[in-house]
Structure 1
């Protein structure tokens, strides 16, 4: 089981700039579990699970984002195991459909 699960909302210019793919790549490199998806309000939502220090590093990276993005705000709160169940079956980290 993962050490910590965080539910993160990222706002700014984070759609149409490769932000989801960047989050997926960064999470996989860090061997984190979870998912990322766009939201219709223009934000990006992610669930990040793994060792607390690694999840914290990933959240700090989300505050910067990929080169073309502009991150205005990152909301970070505790997440539960039920959020991880939204992943695609058999995947450690998923890119989910927009909600």
Structure 2
């Protein structure tokens, strides 16, 4: 599935680690790999993405490895099995 980057302003190292902690806190998945479809690197960063359908657009956090997190500027293809955590959960 193709996901769209929501903001380049939220891509500081601290923000990526904080969003990864958010994803880890709410995740039920034991998956420890990057969400990018062809990547086998360990995840260490969180990314805020939009999933668009014909009727609406929803915002989620997904885990990425450092390489994909740093190079992700517009769209990324992720596995359909990736656990996407809605952005509106409260810690």
On whether the aligned pair clears a TM of 0.5, the verdict is: no
Higher helix share: 1
| TM-score, length basis structure 1 | 0.32
| TM-score, length basis structure 2 | 0.33
Whose relative contact order is higher, 1 or 2, with alpha carbons under 8 Å and at least 6 apart?
Answer: 1
Higher strand share: 1
